[in-house]
Every structure is written in structure tokens, then in C-alpha cells.
Amino acid sequence: MHALEEYGLMHVKLYEDIARNGHIATTYAYPVKVEGRYVMDPSPTPKFDNPKMHMSEALQLFGAGREKRIYAVPPYTEVVSLDFEDHPFEIQHFDKPCALCGAEHVYLDEVVLDDKGGRMFVCSDTDHCEDRREHGHAGHLLAQQEAAE
Amino acid sequence: MSAVPLLKVNDVSKFYGSRTGCRNVSFELWPGEVLAIVGESGSGKTTLLSCLSTRLMPSSGIVEYHMRDGQYRDLARMGEAERRFLMRTDWGFVHQNPADGLRMTVSAGANVGERLMAVGDRHYGNIRATAADWLRRVEIEEDRIDDQPRAFSGGMRQRLQIARNLVTSPRLVFMDEPTGGLDVSVQARLLDLVRGLVHDLGLSAIIVTHDLAVARLLSHRMMVMKDGLVIEQGLTDRVLDDPREPYTQLLVSSILQV
Ligand SMILES: Nc1ncnc2c1ncn2[C@@H]1O[C@H](COP(=O)(O)OP(=O)(O)OP(=O)(O)O)[C@@H](O)[C@H]1O
Ligand SMILES: [Mg+2]
Ligand SMILES: [Zn+2]
């Protein structure tokens, strides 16, 4: 986490992103402002989960590898994603729930299934996904497989 | 020019261990005034500039700046955050080597836009438009806006560094040998550009140079340094046309010029 100094720099990254891609294409390490004062890169949290950091009731820990330090964001802290007025912060929208566990409102990764264009979207957080499946949740792909067996 | 100095420098010295960087320097800089600091290599020009711009902490003496709110502030007593804010809004610093003042791996547009973002500009379209406007003002083709300065010539890099510094309309700009590393023809063009911008924007500037022609072209007033001391100061034309100190006479008669 960087107080003030690197503030402009984080926005520079977003500027470059728009200049290159026409929109903010950053999906990971998407910078946030904490308590209106500190700017940090919340890796490994995906951008999709940035909004969940805001006023979270949990203590959140982040490791800044390069600086060999750990930063803590206390519970109920204001965490706002940086953006531009004409390119506001937006999270990705997924049309379907996780193909394996059926979870909604979670960040999904695209997985290619075969060389015929088959693909599925599954939880990016694999621990959480497994946990849900162990507790009996099933997405459409898992349900199909079970039906076939 | 308003009625009070922008910068008040009182008895500033800087020692590196037992070696003298600069000694007992006092002067005032007025709004809209361009001051040249000249002297041969090792005379303390960069040391003094660094002490004035808070890049170095003086060993003794006081540097006070007239803030936009009308108050004088002792720069050495300013908090880190406030000092940084001052440096990237109200001040500019143009390095001899553009690579020291630019981000070489981000685009020209972002190099210029960074200060705008640092002071809270949050509209991408406006930031980009302002950056494009500044590229034009420093004679860089607008279609280079997404190129990195790595792909620029030395002269273009220096002009980009100037645009990056001036975009927030600073009141005071420090320059250390701004034309130092450039070809003579490129130097002339850059000096012309700097002179125009300083005039149009009503900037105050402190320019370190060992080139008396640069001092002549850009500055209203000049200080001559030798062995860390200011040995002569006055209006540029007076010092160059009628130097009082024997050392300055040598310097002007080009015997000491590099
Ligand atoms: N970091 C340092 N540590 C020790 N001595 C230094 C340091 N920086 C400068 N000096 C010494 O302080 C004196 C003034 O140096 P300074 O760099 O200010 O001169 P200058 O006028 O800018 O020279 P130049 O024209 O070569 O850039 C010199 O004797 C120099 O060796
Ligand atoms: Mg120097
Ligand atoms: Zn899942």
C-alpha cells in the first residue's frame, strides 16, 4: 500500500489501459483507494471482487511481495476502485453460474474443453468451488455428468 | 510582478562531510523572474538547486516559499506529503537527462497526464485532450501521443519533459542544464521554446547552466558561483557586459568557458 506518492502512478496504469484497449481491460491487480488516502493493488483478489472489499466485516490481508510486507485492511473500511468519470469502474458480467458448482455472483474463469470450441465458465476460486460441490451444490455440467453415469 | 518574492533564500550552506557543496547563499526570486546560476564544473550549482528544490536538505540556512494561500513556508519544516504535493503541482523540475524526469515505459500522453491525475483530474477524455494540447505546444506531433519516450529523439524527450512539468501551470520551475545533452541546433530550438513558454506562462524559473549564452537568452538575473560561493550577482545584461569580479571577467572573456 502506498500513501499518496504512488497515487498518480496507479491512475497512469489505468490511463494506459484505456489508451491501448479503448476501455479499462485490467482484471487483476485493479487498484483501490483505501479510506480516501492510501492506494493499493489488492492482488490476488480479482477486480470482480473489489466491491466486496468495501466495508467488509472481515480483516483483509495483502502481501506486497516486492516490499516483503503485509498490509492489513481493518474491518469496515472504505475501499473504492479507482476509475475515470468517463470510464467508470465496472465488474464483468457472467451470463451463467459456475458450470461445476452453480455459484452465482462469483468471478469465473473460462476453461476450454475441447478443440471444437467447447468451453465452460467455472469459479476462479477453486477451493470455494470444491467446497460447494462437497456440500452438494452442482452446476449444469456436473449435473449432466451425474445424469450420464 | 507582485510585491513580494516567491522564494526567499537566507544563508544556505550544504556540506558533504568536510567538502563544501555551496556556502552562505542568500537571494530572493520574484514572480515572473528567471534566474540563471552559472559557474564552472564543481562550483556548487546543482547542490544549490537541489537545496532550493528540497531534493537535498541544506546543512544550514532557510529557504522559504510563498504559497498560493499567501503564507511563507519554511520548506525544511514542511511535511512529506505537503512537500510532494507542492513539487508536483506548483513546481516543476527539468532534469538534464530526460530519462531522469520521464517515465520511459509509459506513453507520452500518460507522461503529461500523470500530474493532472495526481491533482485529481478524473476525466480520461479531458486528460488526453490536455496532453495532446501540450504535445502541440512543445512541437511534438499529436499522433505520437501513445508512443513511449523510448522511441523519441533527445530533443523530443526534453520537450516532453517540459510539457510534463508545465501541464499543471506551476509557478516555479527548476532546470539543471536543460540543453546540456543536446546538439547545438536542437539546443537553439529548445531554448527558443523555453523562452516562449516562460514568457507566455509568466513562470518563475531557476536555471543552472555553465553556458553563458543560455543565461543571456533566458534569464533576467544571474548568479556566478565559484567554489560553492556566489561571487557576483546582478541583472544578466549587466553581469555579462560589465562583470565586476575578476573571475566573472575571465568567465565572460571565454577563457574559462567549456
Ligand atoms: N553527493 C555528493 N557527495 C560528496 N560531494 C559532492 C556530492 N555532490 C557534489 N559534491 C561536491 O560538491 C561540490 C559541488 O558539486 P555540484 O555537483 O553542486 O557542482 P556543479 O556546479 O553542479 O558541477 P557540474 O557543472 O559539473 O554539474 C563539488 O566539489 C562536488 O564534488
Ligand atoms: Mg551540476
Ligand atoms: Zn464453482
Q: Looking at the complex, does the CB of residue A135 fall below 8 Å from at least one CB of chain B?
A: no
User: B212 and B222 in contact (C-beta within 8 Å)?
Assistant: no
Give the per-residue pLDDT at A9. Answer: 80
Determine the atom of ligand 1 nearest the C-alpha atom of B48: 18
Condensed to tens digits (0 to 9), the pLDDT of residues B167-183 reads: 999 999 999 999 887 88
φ, ψ of residue B30 in degrees (nearest 5):
-100, 155
Buried-exposed string B200-228: b where 16+ CB fall within 10 A, e elsewhere: eeebbbbbbbbbbebbebbbebbbbbbeb
Q: How many whole angstroms from B44 Cα to the centroid of ligand 1?
A: 6
Partner-chain contact A12 B88, CB within 8 Å: no
φ, ψ of residue B223 in degrees (nearest 5):
-120, 135
Residues with CB under 5 A from ligand 3 (ion): A 98, 100-101, 103, 123, 129
What is the grid cell recorded at B202? 509568466
DSSP B75: G
What is the grid cell recorded at B222? 544571474
Q: Which of B117, B125, B146 sits opposite A11 (nearest CB)?
A: B117
Give the per-residue pLDDT at A4. Answer: 47
Distance from CA of B39 to the nearest CA of A (A): 34
- A3/A26 Cα distance (integer angstroms): 22
Give the ipTM of the model, two decimals please.
0.86
Distance from CA of B62 to the nearest CA of A (A): 25
In this structure, which residue's CA is closest to atom 10 in ligand 1?
A: B21
In this structure, which residue's CA is closest to atom 2 in ligand 1?
A: B16
Mutate to test the interface with A, among B117, B128, B142 (most CBs of A within 10 A): B117
* Arithmetic mean of pLDDT, A141-149: 77
Give the pLDDT band of residue A3 (cuts 50, 70, 90): very low
Condensed to tens digits (0 to 9), the pLDDT of residues B164-221 reads: 999 999 999 999 999 887 888 888 888 999 999 999 999 999 999 988 999 999 999 9
Provide residues with CB under 6 Å of ligand 1.
Answer: B 16, 19, 21, 39, 41-47, 210
List residues bridging with B6 in a β-sheet: none
Alpha carbon of B142 to those of B109, B139, B148: distances in Å?
A: 9, 9, 13
Give the per-residue pLDDT at B1. Answer: 46
Could you tell me which chain B residue has the CA closest to the CA of A82? B122
With pLDDT > 70 as the criterion, what percentage of chain B qualifies?
Answer: 98
Partner-chain contact B114 A83, CB within 8 Å: no
Partner-chain contact B124 A3, CB within 8 Å: no
**Burial of residue B134 (number of CB atoms within 10 Å: 0-12, 13-18, 19+):** buried
- A98/A142 Cα distance (integer angstroms): 10
Give the per-residue pLDDT at A36. Answer: 85
What is the grid cell recorded at B251? 568567465
Give the per-residue pLDDT at B49. Answer: 97
- When the pLDDT of each residue in chain B is averaged and rounded to a whole number, the result is 93
Give the pLDDT band of residue B247 (cuts 50, 70, 90): very high
Condensed to tens digits (0 to 9), the pLDDT of residues A57-111 reads: 999 888 766 667 788 899 999 999 999 999 999 988 888 899 999 999 889 998 9
In what side-by-side order are the strands of the sheet with B72-74? B19-29, B7-16, B60-66, B72-74
Partner-chain contact A19 B125, CB within 8 Å: no
In this structure, which residue's CA is closest to atom 30 in ligand 1?
A: B42
